[in-house]
């Protein structure tokens, strides 16, 4: 799994798939990391969206299948 990018954009955190994670609410999240698989990794391709609070603790995770 590879870190693709990090964003602080709350609208992007709420954007529905296939262009976002589709979180219904983000609660205390202030940052989102977007992790993804590689074509060379075994198994299906996916994107994983991880919400982080001000302390860097995970407060939400959502996986979207596909690349």
Q: Is the pLDDT assigned to residue 64 strictly greater than 90?
A: no
Identify whether the C-beta of residue 46 lies closer than 8 Å to the C-beta of residue 61: no
Mean pLDDT over each residue of the chain, to the nearest integer: 91
Within 10 A of 54 (CB to CB), how many other CB atoms are there? 9
Arithmetic mean of pLDDT, 48-64: 95
Give 66's pLDDT tier (boundaries 50, 70, 90). Answer: confident
Cβ neighbors of 13 (< 8 A, separation 6 or more) are 7, 20, 21, 23, 26, 29, 32, 49, 51
Q: Which residue has the higher pLDDT, 32 or 40?
A: 32
Q: What is the mean pLDDT of residues 38-66?
A: 90
Is residue 65's pLDDT more than 90? Answer: no
């Amino acid at each position: 799994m590879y870190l693709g990018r990090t964003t602080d954009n709350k609208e992007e955190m709420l954007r529905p798939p296939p262009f976002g994670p589709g979180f219904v609410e983000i609660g205390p999240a202030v940052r989102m990391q977007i992790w993804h698989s590689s074509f060379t990794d075994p198994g299906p391709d996916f994107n994983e969206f991880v919400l982080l609070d001000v302390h860097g603790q995970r407060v939400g995770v959502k996986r979207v299948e596909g690349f």
